[in-house]
Amino acid sequence: MLPPAEKRFLWVNKITIVSLFVLILAGGVVRSTGSGMGCPDWPKCFDRLVPPTSEAQLPEGYEAKYIAERQAKNNRFAGLLERLGKTELADRIRHDESILRHEEFNAAKTWTEYINRLVGAVTGFLLLLCAVFSFTFFKTRKSIFIWSVINVVAVGFQAWLGSIVVSTNLMPWIITVHMLLALVIVGISIYTYFKARSLRDKDLLINHKTGGIKVLAACSLFLVVVQVGVGTGVREEIDHIASNVAERGEWLEQVGNVFDVHRTLAVISAIVMVLLFFAVRSRFAASTHQSRFTNMLMVLLVLQTVTAILLAYFDMPPYAQTAHLVLASLLFGTQYYLMLLLGKARVGRAND
């Protein structure tokens, strides 16, 4: 029987993990519908807590106001980059005229971006609750408390980075960092959940060495993270191409080598996942947590392959773009949790 304080932390942490994936889904919808600049300011939307639904509700002279605010924020950001030694990048941001280009009002895009921000705010609040409730582990497993607090700091940085994404008019490399940081936050939440649960639930623990299986799982996880990074690069190329080419069927043809790298890594990653599946199933009974998560991994891999086919051969439908991103995130989360399940030393009884 779990103590109430620990049960409360696990419950909130589980909801937080779900919320993080919902946030990634919302971000994917924003990206696939081109709604990233639906709100030209941050954290409000057109300087309102509830965004407008028609042009008549827009603030007077908002275009010039937001462009001036965006330019000021970009200059501050460029100054920070200069202090970090990124002089060339800072100069590029200061002189990139496309950053200051105004986007016409579109109510659907505005509300799509606004809903994404609401989900982000809810998720941030849940992460803060996790940090507060994690104090119950301060004496028994201090790492849970420390990482929960670090996650709050990380989500605060993520929120600031989100404002930079808006002010730089969706500058590609910042979007990539934004996505990878989201995976870091997901990973920390999964880690704290596992640590808290394994403190009492010995069924999660194994009592024999996993040998090369853990290494295989780590390689598979690494490949997924690299794939997400390269895939974001592919998407950045497509965003640039889409602004000049109307036909969706022609986009992939013009992407270049980054797509070839992404596709090759996808094949390698799939092979490693299949090897991992058979390795785990050969060492663990079907009823164990390890086997169940490898089963889930295979289902996600099949679904991800379907979305990849849709993107490559059916003119990149927006729904497939979003699904591809969300499934990649779920693959990351599933493989990371599986690696934690494989990484326990001899404690408790065997699962197989």
Q: Indicate if the pLDDT at residue 123 is higher than 60.
A: yes
Claim to verify: residue 19 and residue 154 sit in the same structural domain: yes
Give tens-digit pLDDT for 256-281. 788 888 889 999 999 999 999 999 98
Of 67-71, 290-294, 317-321, the poorest mean pLDDT is in: 67-71
Contact partners, residue 330, CB within 8 Å, separation at least 6: 21, 300
CB 81 within 8 A of CB 18: no
Claim to verify: residue 191 and residue 213 sit in the same structural domain: no
Domain boundary among 167, 182, 200: 200
Claim to verify: residue 218 and residue 155 sit in the same structural domain: no
Mean of pLDDT values over 115-144: 93
Q: Indicate if the pLDDT at residue 227 is higher than 70.
A: yes
Q: Indicate if the pLDDT at residue 60 is higher than 90.
A: no
Which domain does 53 fall in, by range? 1-200
Q: Indicate if the pLDDT at residue 350 is higher than 60.
A: no
Claim to verify: residue 126 and residue 10 sit in the same structural domain: yes
Q: Indicate if the pLDDT at residue 55 is higher than 80.
A: yes
Radius of gyration, CA atoms only, the chain: 22
Give tens-digit pLDDT for 243-256. 676 676 677 777 77
Nearest to 341 by CA among 282, 277, 291, 273: 291
Q: Indicate if the pLDDT at residue 345 is higher than 70.
A: no
Mean of pLDDT values over 74-94: 83
Q: Indicate if the pLDDT at residue 15 is higher than 50.
A: yes
Please state, as a whole number, how many other Cβ atoms lie within 10 Å of the Cβ of residue 16. 26
Of 21-30, 81-90, 188-197, the poorest mean pLDDT is in: 81-90
Domain boundary among 200, 230, 260: 200
Residue 248 or 58, more confident: 58
Claim to verify: residue 180 and residue 218 sit in the same structural domain: no
Domain boundary among 166, 200, 234: 200
Claim to verify: residue 80 and residue 229 sit in the same structural domain: no
Q: Which two tokens stand for residue 240?
A: 């640039």
Number of folded domains in the chain? 2
Claim to verify: residue 10 and residue 54 sit in the same structural domain: yes
Alpha carbon distance 182, 131 (integer Å): 17
Contact partners, residue 138, CB within 8 Å, separation at least 6: 145
Claim to verify: residue 147 and residue 233 sit in the same structural domain: no
Claim to verify: residue 162 and residue 284 sit in the same structural domain: no
Count the residues in the chain.
Answer: 352
Q: For residue 213, what is the domain's CATH number?
A: 1.20.120
Of 136-150, 240-254, 285-299, 300-314, the poorest mean pLDDT is in: 240-254
Claim to verify: residue 194 and residue 269 sit in the same structural domain: no
176-197 burial, b at 16+ Cβ within 10 Å, e below that, comes to: bbbbebbbebbbbbbbbbbbbb
Please state, as a whole number, how many other Cβ atoms lie within 10 Å of the Cβ of residue 56. 6
Claim to verify: residue 151 and residue 279 sit in the same structural domain: no
Claim to verify: residue 244 and residue 137 sit in the same structural domain: no
CB 185 within 8 A of CB 161: no
Place of tokens 């890594």: 265
Q: For residue 351, what pLDDT is reported?
A: 36
Q: Indicate if the pLDDT at residue 99 is higher than 90.
A: no
